[in-house]
Structure 1
Amino acid sequence: MEDDPLVALDLEAIVTAAADAEVAVAHSVNDARRALGRASFDAAFLDIDVTDGKTFEVASLLAAQGTPFAFVSGAKREEVPPPLRQVPFLPKPYDPEDIERTFLARLATRG
């Protein structure tokens, strides 16, 4: 889930180049909740700040479903609630190779 459309497109390109993946983009917590209600995901990247708030609720839902995810955000790592602090955190601006490595590593934890 990513609030910046250009960053979302960049992340989509990195992910699809790294693996044969379908990508869903949600720009808000509400959109993400709806997407999680319709489909299951192999892995996810979350920005912390999106149009209607912070994505910590979505992160908790993903964790409860056993879906590996990582934060990609310009927010401060200290904003992440203690129960979610073990989740990988990639600060913006990010290195595309870090995104690819993190995505493939998160997919590997799914198996």
Structure 2
Amino acid sequence: MPDIRILIVEDDPFIAMDIEYAVMEKLGDSAELIVVESVEEARRAAASPLSCALLDIDVVGGKTFDVAASLLDKGTPIAFVSGSTPSDVPLALRAVRFLRKPFSTREIVSFVSGALKVH
């Protein structure tokens, strides 16, 4: 099993595939991608160690803010990938990297590379 584990929380399957593709292009088989579409699935996935996470804000079952806070408490690098605006994010989470949809795959790769310190 790869040492790199990346959580992708996205309820639109096409956007999830775009994010997956961007990460796989950079990391290939060296990473395990955990792709989920709901807050509950994200909570379960976040209970295990993760290298980083890309979170949509509004997904099945609500908003991912509690998942984001939990991951930050563990020291896991996260980014929001959302059509929302940064002002929709609670103050305690405003320092989190925010990638606005529509995003470029370059932005996704840049975040993951920085989080994993991969060049």
TM-score by length of 1: 0.92
Task: For 1:35, give the aligned amino acid.
Answer: A
**Pair 1:72-2:81 in alignment:** yes
Please show how residues 16-95 of structure 1 align to structure 2 within 5 Å: 16-19=24-27, 20-37=30-47, 39-95=48-104
Identity percentage of aligned residues: 46
Moved more, 18-27 or 91-100: 18-27
Select the structure that is richer in helix.
Answer: 1
User: Which of residues 97, 100, 111 is equivalent to 2:109?
Assistant: 100
TM-score (norm 2): 0.86
Find the counterpart in structure 1 of residue 17 from structure 2: 9
Structure 1 runs of 4+ aligned residues shifted over 3 Å read none
CA RMSD of aligned residues (A): 0.9
Total equivalences in the alignment: 107
Name structure 1 gaps, 5 residues minimum: none
Contact 1:16 1:22 in 2 (8 A): no
